[in-house]
Amino acid sequence: MSVVRSDSARLRAQGDDVRARALAIKARAEAMNWNSVAATAFRAEIDLTADALGRSAAALDTAADALANHARAVDEVKALIHQAQQWAGEKLDEARSIAGNVVRVVHDVAENAVTGFMTVLASIPDQVSKVSVSVFRVFGVDVAPETVARARDIVRAVPNRPDDGSQDWLDVQRVLGGRGR
């Protein structure tokens, strides 16, 4: 964007230069010590030329403003992409870590740790002799099944991490549900 900003500044300077030349030409024509019908026609022609130069300077100013506005708009989008990349990148990294490192661990519940519900189960005629509990673990920490399911959904929805600064981060943010998740 620095090229666009320098082009904008260059256009603005060119507009100022054209405007200054128009004023200088007009001032010189007025300052001429020449009075005749031809001099009046010449001064009128100089006025028309100076006015045309003024319009050209205004067009250069308009182009400079358009380039500056474009640069600002691009900067705003780049900032949104950066924010999306930071937020969605964290969510994506976390989901990939969970989905890639989750293990299902099955624990046998000791007889003396049987809850009331398990006691009821144990009293049914088939005699439940052993109770097992299955949990998800990531790096030794128990993780809720919903968290694992959400992580797997995210990894399926975003199989490839976008390049840094890519506009695709805005899509990833939208897929992950915006800032609310």
User: Helix or strand or coil: residue 161?
Assistant: coil
Domain annotation for the chain: domains and CATH numbers? 2-77 (1.10.287), 78-180 (no CATH)
Alpha-carbon distance values, 165 to 7, 26, 74, 83, 101 (Å)? 24, 51, 12, 10, 28
pLDDT at 110: 57
Report phi then psi at 126, rounded to 5: -70, -10
Cα separation, 56 vs 50, whole angstroms: 10
Residue type, 166: S
Region 70-90: mean pLDDT is: 95
- In a 13 Å sphere around the CA of 168, the CA atoms on its Cβ side amount to 10
User: Helix or strand or coil: residue 2?
Assistant: helix
- Condensed to tens digits (0 to 9), the pLDDT of residues 96-142 reads 999 999 888 886 765 545 555 555 555 555 555 566 677 888 888 88
Which residues have a Cβ under 8 Å from the Cβ of 131 and sit 6 or more positions away?
108, 109, 114, 118, 121, 122
Cα torsion through 133, 136, 140, 142, rounded to 10: -80
pLDDT at 92: 95
- Bin 103: left if φ > 0, else alpha if -120 < ψ < 50, else beta: beta
Strands (E), 2-157: 102-109, 131-138, 141-143
- What predicted TM-score, i.e. pTM, was given to this entire model? 0.64
pLDDT at 105: 83
Region 33-55: mean pLDDT is: 95
Mean pLDDT of the chain: 87
Cα separation, 89 vs 77, whole angstroms: 17
Alpha-carbon distance values, 16 to 10, 20, 67 (Å)? 10, 6, 16
Instruction: List 159's β-bridge partners, or say none.
Output: none
Secondary structure letter of residue 35 according to DSSP: -
- Condensed to tens digits (0 to 9), the pLDDT of residues 46-63 reads 999 999 999 999 999 999
